[in-house]
Amino acid sequence: MLVDKRILLIIGGGIAAYKALDLIRRLRERGARVRVVMTAAAQQFVTPLAAGALSADRVFTDLFDREDEHDVGHIRLAREANLIVVAPATADLMAKMAHGLANDLASTVLLATDRPVLLAPAMNPAMWRHPATRRNAATLAADGIAFIGPNAGEMAESGEAGVGRMAEPTEIADRAAALLAPAAKPLAGRHILITSGPTHEPIDPVRYIANRSSGKQGHAIAAAAAAAGARVTLVSGPVTLADPAGVTTIHVETASAMLAAVERALPADAAIMAAAVADWRVAREGTEKIKKDGSGLPPALALVENPDILATVGQLGPARPKLVVGFAAETENLIANAQAKLARKGADWIVANDVSPETGVMGGNANTVRIVSKDGVEDWPLMDKAEVARRLIERIAAHFAP
């Protein structure tokens, strides 16, 4: 529960702001003390008077309030709370957070805080799907910002349906309580080995064979495992992501280098092979840039198969991790291919996902996965990759629980 916890609720400007009034009630029912900051746009939907009456406290709206700012009030608001909840978190407010802008009280508080932050996004489905919003959400998640929602449903203002509805107040209050609960460390004492990203297989000094993997899912899993108390070794191919906090990250380029790093990192309690390893490399890497010869024909490139890292780990014998989890990125026959991979590679679970171009999974911020094991197939709904990671780590922790 939230007894005596101080929650700073930032209400953004969207039609879902009316739900924020109910959220104040739900937080106070759980024992929280609630202070409210409202953006100028939020005041077009609900009034400070209503928010103040429900919170039994003053509502803060102005960065340049003479009474508050004599003692740097925005810093005080940012630091006195145990948790900051932004509901609704509009696309505009998320963009300000992602880019470090601070031009009103809400964005200044969010930039100045060192406390946990929970966002409840709410916007039109097209705005939520827009690449700019997806990039901003991924940046915020990588910065450690927690998310709840958005949910699927009909939009209040337009009648459109899709993903964009703000999570319900009870859901947000429950998530706030979970974030402030004493941190559970179910994987404390465990060593989790994770691979992530693509590999680059050189053709010559300037060209290579690769794929579109961004490493977002593998890095999110590493961060979630560290948050669960595990000692985490992440072997990462070339990505543009920051190394997850609290994780030992080993950077490699090729499949052979990734396998060598994995073998050096063993033993481990669990191995999660999320990297999209190139299946082939050229048999003979050019020492100079390959030039056109004027014939109009491409050079002949002989390919050889790369080492199979998942199969190597899955079939180690006595040194094998107690749990081996592989990934299957498929464009057809998803379940059949994942089940065949499970048997062929010696894995315990396969996390299967459809990476057809229309899904946007490869390189994107969301994922729909199925957990394939000897016990059957478990379907998971569409989620942000950070939420997929959190649930996967919860499942792994349950596997190791006495």
CA atoms within 13 A on the CB side of 144: 14
190 to 182, 223, 258, 272, 313: CA distances (angstroms): 20, 14, 21, 13, 17
Rounded CA-CA distance 116/39 in Å is 20
Q: Which residues are annotated as a binding site?
A: 279, 289, 307-310, 327, 341, 345
Contacts of 350 (CB under 8 A, 6+ apart): 325, 326, 327, 328, 338, 339, 341, 342, 371, 372, 373
Cis peptide bond prior to 88, omega within 30° of 0: yes
337 is catalytic: no
Radius of gyration of the chain (CA): 24
Residues in binding site for CTP: 279, 289, 307-310, 327, 341, 345
Is residue 46 helix, strand or coil? coil
244 by Cβ neighbours in 10 Å (0-12 / 13-18 / 19+) ranks as buried
The single residue of 82, 151, 211, 337 carrying the catalytic annotation is 211
Cβ atoms of 14 and 123 within 8 Å: the answer is yes
Q: Which residues are catalytic?
A: 211
